[in-house]
Structure 1
Amino acid sequence: MLFGKLLPREGNFFELFNEHGKHIAEGARAFTSMVQYYNDPTLRQKYAADVDAAEKQADRITAEVNRLLHKTFITPLDREQIRDLINKMDDILDLLQDSSEVMSLYDLQTVSEDVLRLSDISAKCCERVQHAVSLLPKLSQPSVTEAALKTCEEIDRLESDADRVMRSAMSRLFRDNIDVRELIKLKAVYEHLESISDRCEDVANIIEGIVLENS
């Protein structure tokens, strides 16, 4: 009995999830601003640096969650769910950073309307992820459970929107008579941006599973 009382319990997993979610939203907003002000090299560099900063902060939280898993005997969620959730959340910021780097490394000169649309959808997905994660500590409340499931559904719809924009963008890309090098650049950028919403959907699926198991 005494042994059970001395075992490390709970940890601050929900707080860490919530903090990571905030960095996801910050990184997404910085990325969207970078795309919006892409023609201004100074602002582009500033917002790209903001994306990098958010990714580094989130990496530290991911490492802390994995470290805490090894120290905590009784966790508020299944261990695999905790590990999967934080790693999938980290994938989102990794892709935001990768997308920023691809645009820079490929020396993309201008951004198309499709890049703007995909960036906007990605940012909305990230904001929804942050909201869904913030609800996890309060799942005992039926209204919160309903709100979490609704938010996951919104992420799924946004991911479908990104798929449609991606298909349309690719169709125009191969239909229009543009330079082959530019085609390769834009194709890579489109694929990276669409993948952001995919990773958000991965997080939504994990949260939905958590909600259904705990409701």
Structure 2
Amino acid sequence: MLFGKLLPREGNFFEMFNQHAERIVEAARAFSQLVANYSDPHLRDKYNQDVDNAERAADRVTQDVNRLIHKTFITPIDREQIHTLINTMDDVADLIQDSAETMALYDVHHMTDEITRLTDLSVKCCERLRDAVKLLDKIADPAVAEAALKTCEEIDRLESDADRVMRAAMSKLFREEPDVREVIKLKAIYELLETITDKCEDVANTIEGIVLENS
């Protein structure tokens, strides 16, 4: 299938994927700033709002893509791949928002080193996800296809790093935190942050499948 073929005037799937990926990175970076400035209530509220705004914008792109699937006679890649990719990407944005909301709902009072490390890994995963998505419309070129696969491998490695950080964080939490309420709160946060990287890996796996089938 020719990737250079113009789509109907309703829009271009690859451009919409790129728009969504940019919103994911915006949400991840806003969440990172929320964590870094958590002790400042004003900045915390600001970055919470930034996360919400980016997630809502990502939702709109997802809705547009899902509508466009049904309006487009010939799609540049398999319809099921389009559906899976955009909805799995949207899960990443949702999880970032869930993490911010959970911190507020659970009244978390301070950030731990483990939250900071998991947040940093989540941001890196989201940035590499964006980089991989940007290559999708050019994967007919073998060099670009190879670059996309290598980027997906980097996401896999980052997810493995996050998994190790999360296991160590859980071990430390149950050994050293005497307050059961804090254990419950932090356990939920750690699990959510690690799930962001898990979902990025799911996106990477979908991209790998698209590359292998269409390059």
TM-score bucket (shorter structure): over 0.9
Once the two structures are TM-superposed, the CA of residue 177 in structure 1 deviates from its matched residue by: 3.9
Runs of 5+ unmatched residues, structure 1: 1-6
Deviations 1:142-195 (A, max 9, x none): 211111001000000000000000000000011114200011000000000000
1:109 and 2:76 are equivalent in the alignment: no
Q: Under a length normalisation based on structure 2, what TM-score does the superposition of the two structures give?
A: 0.95
Aligned pairs for 1:93-104 within 5 A: 93-104=93-104
Structure 2 equivalent of residue 4 of structure 1: none
**Matched residue, 1:168:** 168
- The amino acid across from 2:159 in the alignment is E
Name the Cα RMSD after superposition: 1.3
C-alpha distance in structure 1 between counterparts of 2:214 and 2:76, whole Å: 11
Match of 1:19 in 2: 19
5 Å-filtered alignment, 1:18-167, equals 18-167=18-167
Name the CA distance, whole Å, in 2 between partners of 1:8 and 1:101.
38
Cα distance in 2, alignment partners of residues 131 and 89 from structure 1: 13
Q: Return the alpha-carbon distance in structure 2 between the equivalents of residues 131 and 177 of structure 1.
A: 39
Preserved CA contact (<8 Å) 1:89 1:203: yes
Aligned to 2:4: none
Q: Is residue 23–residue 57 contact of structure 2 (8 Å, CA) maintained in 1?
A: yes
| TM-score, normalization by structure 1 | 0.95
Q: Contact 1:29 / 1:123 at 8 angstroms: preserved in 2?
A: yes
Q: Distance in 2 between matches of 1:20 and 1:48?
A: 19
CA apart distance, 1:9: 8.5
Deviation of 1:8 after TM superposition, in Å, equals 5.1
- Judged with a 3 Å threshold, the aligned counterparts in structure 2 of structure 1 residues 184 and 112 are, in CA distance, closer, same or farther, namely same
CA distance in 2 between counterparts of 1:33 and 1:39 reads: 11
User: For residues 147 and 120 of structure 1, what CA distance do their matches in structure 2 show?
Assistant: 23
Residue 207 of structure 2 aligns to which amino acid in structure 1?
I
Stretches of structure 2 that go unaligned for 5 or more consecutive residues are: 1-6
Letter in 2 for 1:118: L
Count of residues paired in the alignment? 209
Say whether the 8 Å CA contact 1:10–1:74 is kept in structure 2.
no
Q: Deviations over 1:5-54 (max 9, x none)?
A: xx959941001000000000111000001001111111111011000000
Aligned to 1:3: none
Q: Which runs of structure 1 show a deviation greater than 2 angstroms over 4 or more consecutive aligned residues?
A: 7-11
Deviation of residue 214 (structure 1)? 1.3
Matched AA of 2:87: N
Partners of 2:10 and 2:66 in 1: CA distance = 14
- Distance in 2 between the 1:143 and 1:177 partners? 50
